[in-house]
A and B are shown apart, each in its own frame.
Chain A
Amino acid sequence: MEYLLKTYGESDRGEGELELVVSGDWAERGDSALVSASGDNKRRNFGADLLSDLETALQAGGISKIRFDTSNLTDWDSKLIVLIIAIQQQKTQNIEIDDAGLPRGLRQLIALSRAAPARGDRGDAKPAPGILETVGQQTIGVFSRFKASSQFLGVSLQSFGRMFTGKARYQKSDVRDFIFAAGPQALPIVSIVNILLGVILAFMGAVQLKQFGAEIYVANLVALGQTREIAPMMTAIVMAGRTGAAYAAQLGTMQVNEEVDALKTFGFSPIDFLVLPRMLALAVMMPFLVLYADALGIFGGYLIGITVLDISTIEYIEQTRASIDIVDVALGVFKGSVFGILVAVTGCMHGMNSGRSASAVGDAATKAVVSGIIAIIGMTAMFSVLAAVLGI
């Protein structure tokens, strides 16, 4: 792997000509190519010395033509091609490049790589936006995203209406499958999360209430907190991560496969066909999941009550029963149903808006979970304020 730069004085070929003599093995196949890259600067900067020598020679001035002599070149591969292309791109200073001296195959590969013109009207042509522009764009984006989400929610709820009038077209068997996936199959994770939440609530309360000798009120705290706030919110968050993400990925993949387009051309409404069954499944299953979560949360609190706080079983149950009434439970169940629709709609929306690539489907699933959780927590806060104002 050797090279030599000959300027006109030495090569005696003509005024202003530079001859680049490349000889030896420039492919470096075999064992030497496989040695570890670390520390081997020469290999990493393949040909850098040639380029810098060439640049020095060109800067000296007086050169109008570069020729190549490769008669003693024994082997070469893409690395040399890339070097030659780099040299050719130095044409800026009106230097003619005569590639007649290059191996024929090399010239042809370069020609091939240029045969299809690069797409010039997009990509790095746009300058990166400044901070002000970014902030502006993002702010505008928030509003337009909010508008798009509201529209999607509206369209989905219309589809709900069409279902009641019997006009919506969807597969009943889909609803059954989704109900199974969103209900029974979700029980293990909902169980674990809610038992532990009951335990956490009980401990949290116990620390404070013990100071007043009022440990028994741990039962009130757990029962009220769990049924009104915690169970619907946490169950919905679990469902956003589990089912919302799954919906986004399913619909995103269908988008990639042009399945959604196929539905449209046959006159099916993708909202009725794809979004409605999923929304229905979560709206139906969430109330049951919340009831189940209430029970398990209270059970978790009870475990701490009888072991750590020395409350008797009868006492704990009596206290729990006295502390909550049907309104508290109903409020939680109602919230659960709303959150269920919310999770389904955000999941489906991001899936339907997904781009047509593997990474776009991944993004859709991520966005579904993130915006699902934000929506759930926002709604929980809103419900709390409303309930306080209305005295529920």
Chain B
Amino acid sequence: MSDPHIAISVRDLKMGFGDFIIQRDLNFDIKTGEIFVIMGDSGSGKSTLLRHLIGLQKPLFGKINYADMSFWDAPEAQRKALSKRFGVLYQSGALWSSMTLFENVAMPIREHTNYGEERIAALVQFKLALVGLAGFDAYYPSEISGGMKKRAGLARALALDPDILFFDEPSAGLDPISAKRLDDLILELRDSLGTTIVVVTHELASIYAIADSSIFVDADAKTQTALGPPAYLRDHPPTAKVGEFLRRGDGKNLNEGEAV
């Protein structure tokens, strides 16, 4: 029925809190094995869109389809089964503060597999090493820095080798070298494991380095104003704001136009 190359398709999505609409008429497809970037100004609803894709918030209207399955029309058991294929890195890391880094990564594996402790330990060590945190197993989240929390959160997101990875501003708070390493890791995950990756980010360098496709959600228009590969959008911006965003505000003088 549906295109097997499409991992997620969003149709006529309207999101908001009660009467307060954040975005409406969102329509886009995320292909299997691609890196899809969600861009937009601050407060435009990028994190909210991500929460909808993960199934943490219910749309006011519209559908979010995973392959043939409409997420919010499916029974809860099916939704849960689907969620197990997701890995999520939250904006703040969201590590479970009462557990060590080791426990944080090990807990999902324990829950969803029947591996022995030895195998789990080996997997956890590998995931922590992958994000550059080898040797930090016994640390509690409160004992590591903000950037390290992000990376530990990433290790946990990778715990179950998910089919779809969601990142909320992964490189915010990272130094340029770590951010570059993270981009490389994201590309590597796509190439070697075929993971579909959805990233919310503002970092232009990162956007151009990793994105196969992208969407721009506009806080003023309250809908998507651009869809496509970011380099193409930069050269053919559908709206002035998208062009400004992708060229980092170049070519626009604050004194012109906006001034009273």
Contacts and interface: CB of A to CB of B under 8 A. Distances in A.
Nearest to B141: A257
B255 A267 contact: no
Contacts of A257: 92-95, 97
A328 to B, nearest CB: 40
A111 B83 contact: no
Interface string B235-255: 000000000000000000011
A261 B20 contact: no
A111 B255 contact: yes
A136 interface: no
A238 to B, nearest CB: 25
Interface stretch (A112-120, A197-205, A369-377): A112-120
A169 interface: yes
A97 B259 CA distance: 12
Contact of B111 (A99, A253, A268): A268
Interface in B6-51: 20, 43, 51
A114 B260 contact: yes
Nearest to B220: A117
Interface in B80-112: 80, 83-84, 86, 88, 90-98, 107-108, 111-112
Contact of B258 (A114, A263, A264): A114
B56 interface: yes
Contacts of A263: 96
Interface residues of A, number: 29
B96 A121 contact: no
A267 B111 contact: yes
B108 A107 contact: no
A115 B254 contact: yes
B91 A115 contact: no
A266 interface: yes
Given A99-B260, A111-B255, A265-B56, 7 more contacts: A110-B260, A122-B20, A258-B92, A259-B96, A262-B94, A262-B156, A267-B84
For the complex of A and B, list the 3 residue pairs with the smallest distance between their C-beta atoms, beginning with the closest: A258-B94, A262-B94, A258-B90
29 contacts: A88-B260, A97-B260, A99-B259, A107-B255, A107-B259, A110-B260, A111-B259, A112-B254, A114-B260, A117-B220, A119-B43, A258-B91, A258-B92, A258-B94, A259-B95, A259-B97, A261-B51, A261-B56, A261-B90, A262-B90, A262-B94, A262-B95, A262-B96, A262-B156, A266-B83, A266-B107, A266-B112, A267-B83, A267-B111
